Amino acid sequence: MMGNYVHQEGPVHLHVVQPTEVPPLLDFLLLCEKFRDTEPYATEFPHPGSVALHILSSTPEYADFDPKIIPVLSSTLLPTHPLRLRNLALKAFYRLMPGWFSTQVENLLHNNLNKLLQAVGDPFQFPQIPNPNELGSERRPDHEPMSSAIVLIEFASSDLWRNHLRRSNFTSCNEVLSTEEGRRSAIRCMFHTAQFIWRAFLHTPAKIIAATKRLEELQCLNTAEVVIMWAWTVGVMDAADHDGWKLIEDDTLRFYQTHGIERLATLKRHIADTTMETEHLMFLVMHYGGSPCRMWSVKRPAPFARPPWRPFGPMDKRDIPISRVCQLRRLHHLFGYDPAT
């Protein structure tokens, strides 16, 4: 399998990893960690452990999550690791997102989960330095720190992970999200995650409220506000779920009354934002299987029930502004503003 990965200008994918091949790769990585030298690996060829980790980080889906990945990542995520594989390890951490909420992880000791999150640390820190030990290191790293931060945001909504998070996990993220472009980057990453990585990403009012409150406890208000922005993104919450929307509205009102009504301008701009129309439309089609306007009259499918892909045309794009107007009217009504303004 590893022989099918060729190192030229970068890694060439000649092999699609099958679920049955994941455990042997993890066993190999564990051996690499057990017997690795204490000094950096110096050779013109990539380290075998780097190749194996690259394969795992590029695997489209993990059918059966194997907890053996946790000690591997807990080691390779560290900036002090001799092979300097943090970028690849963060990419694997992101691609493994569905597995972090599996029953296999629920049965692990809390100490293991704590150790992993300590190794993840602040995803924006310790940028990757080109190193011959890492496959394709001469190229620009293909993993953005925001992707790992999105996993940590989802952790804030989880009973399993919530209490293991520390404010230090979000230090840089909270700073990035203080800017308009940073918030747009996060929402784009959320769209991508909900479409291709974890369809259950912050998909219920209970998860959104839990994440918001935990991030507030960690004093990461910019990050908490992005979670609220996600909740108010057209189509994320089922418009027909009136009880669910009552919970979202109550929590939104509480957040802005507590932390400053002046922040509300950010949420209003987000609802009306047209700069991500393509990503937004793709998200709506993926989750609703048809015209975006259907979300106002058709119950949203279960998060794992993937609807058939349907091509969309110009008419569909006309529906998004209508839906945005409905969301803005909802927001104005919540805060007692005249909808006509």
Asked if residue 315 is part of any domain, the answer here is no
What is the mean predicted confidence (pLDDT) over 21-39?
72
Total number of domains constituting the chain: 1
Of 56-60, 70-74, 193-197, 334-338, which range is least confident? 56-60
- Are 60 and 102 a contacting pair, CB within 8 Å? no
pTM for the structure as a whole: 0.83
Please state, for a pLDDT cut of 70, what percent of the chain lies above it: 73
- Residue 269 burial (CB count, 10 A): 12
* Segment 157-169, tens digit of pLDDT: 999 999 999 999 9
Residue 322 pLDDT more than 90?
Answer: no
Asked if residue 49 is part of any domain, the answer here is yes
7: β partners: 11
- 147 or 104: which carries more pLDDT confidence? 147
Asked if residue 128 is part of any domain, the answer here is yes
Average pLDDT, the chain: 80
Range of the domain at 127: 1-139
* Segment 244-279, tens digit of pLDDT: 999 999 999 999 999 999 999 999 999 998 888 788
Asked if residue 108 is part of any domain, the answer here is yes
Of 62-76, 82-96, 307-321, 325-339, which range is least confident? 307-321
**Residue 261 CB-density burial (10 A; 0-12 exposed, 13-18 middle, 19+ buried):** exposed
Asked if residue 74 is part of any domain, the answer here is yes
- Residue 255 burial (CB count, 10 A): 22
* Segment 84-101, tens digit of pLDDT: 889 889 998 998 899 899
Residue 310 pLDDT more than 50?
Answer: no
pLDDT tier at 211, thresholds 50, 70, 90: very high
Asked if residue 206 is part of any domain, the answer here is no
Asked if residue 59 is part of any domain, the answer here is yes
Asked if residue 147 is part of any domain, the answer here is no
Residue among 221, 107, 227, 225 nearest 155 (CA): 227
User: Where do runs of H (alpha helix) occur along 203-313?
Assistant: 205-217, 221-232, 242-259, 264-272, 277-288
pLDDT tier at 294, thresholds 50, 70, 90: very low
